[in-house]
Amino acid sequence: MIKVLAITDIHFNLNNLRKILDRAKDCDLILVAGDITNFGKDPEAKEVIKLLKNTNKPYFFVPGNCDYAKEFSDDVNEKNIHGKFTTYENLAIIGLGGSTPTPFNTPFELSEETIKKMLYEVHSKIAEKFEKLILMSHVPPYNTLLDTTKTGIHVGSRSVRQFIEEHNVDLVISGHVHEARSIDRLGKTVLVNPGPALQGNYAIITIGKEIDVKLEHI
């Protein structure tokens, strides 16, 4: 059994991040699905990463659309898996940062075509055998509970959804849509938006033969 602390949309609220990390001290792995800063650059990102490192737990993150990811230093990017994959025990984890285009011209936006190409290329490089495939994508899959705005509009990525459906993904951790804190499914795939850590939200995911998700709040 692997116990994962899933966090997203910190938006540089270091106080709530500290509280969340303290509450989940018994986790095995920390996964952070983007927006670690609030339109911040490297100095802000370094403060967030320092808190994650201080847990002495393995962690990985992707930047969100509100992060100036191109300006992150090598120190910050050590565990940034945007456009990459990593492994942890019997898990393979693919990372996708940024978001599809928004009306707000945020710092890190990607076209559907770029997202699709990136996901499929990364997946093709995974040679290791693994029991569970995790996608950590800041932007949620289209037409799910995770991408539904207050007005009922779906703003997720069609390419992310297509990838999930075609590649037998076991677990998806997303963020981006603050009001869409939820657990959902696409076939066998478990989907979770932990809700913004900015507001004290997080999720505890227990991965064994089955995947169990609990939405938590400080």
User: What is the predicted pLDDT for the residue at 128?
Assistant: 81
Rounded CA separation 135/176 (Å) = 15
User: What is the predicted pLDDT for the residue at 140?
Assistant: 98
- CATH for the 2-217 domain, from 3.30.450.270, 3.60.21.10, 3.20.10.10, 3.40.720.10: 3.60.21.10
Residue with tokens 């509450």: 23
SS3 (DSSP) at 76 = helix
User: What is the predicted pLDDT for the residue at 86?
Assistant: 97
Q: What is the pTM of this model?
A: 0.98
User: What is the predicted pLDDT for the residue at 129?
Assistant: 86
Rounded CA separation 71/5 (Å) = 26
Q: What residues does each domain of the chain span?
A: 2-217
Rounded CA separation 180/192 (Å) = 10
Q: What are phi and psi of 119, to 5 degrees?
A: -60, -45
115 contacts 158 by C-beta, under 8 angstroms: no
User: What is the predicted pLDDT for the residue at 127?
Assistant: 83
136 contacts 143 by C-beta, under 8 angstroms: no
174 contacts 7 by C-beta, under 8 angstroms: no
Strands of 189-193's sheet, edge to edge? Answer: 85-88, 91-96, 132-137, 171-173, 189-193, 182-186
User: What is the predicted pLDDT for the residue at 31?
Assistant: 98
- Which residues of the chain are modeled with pLDDT < 70? none
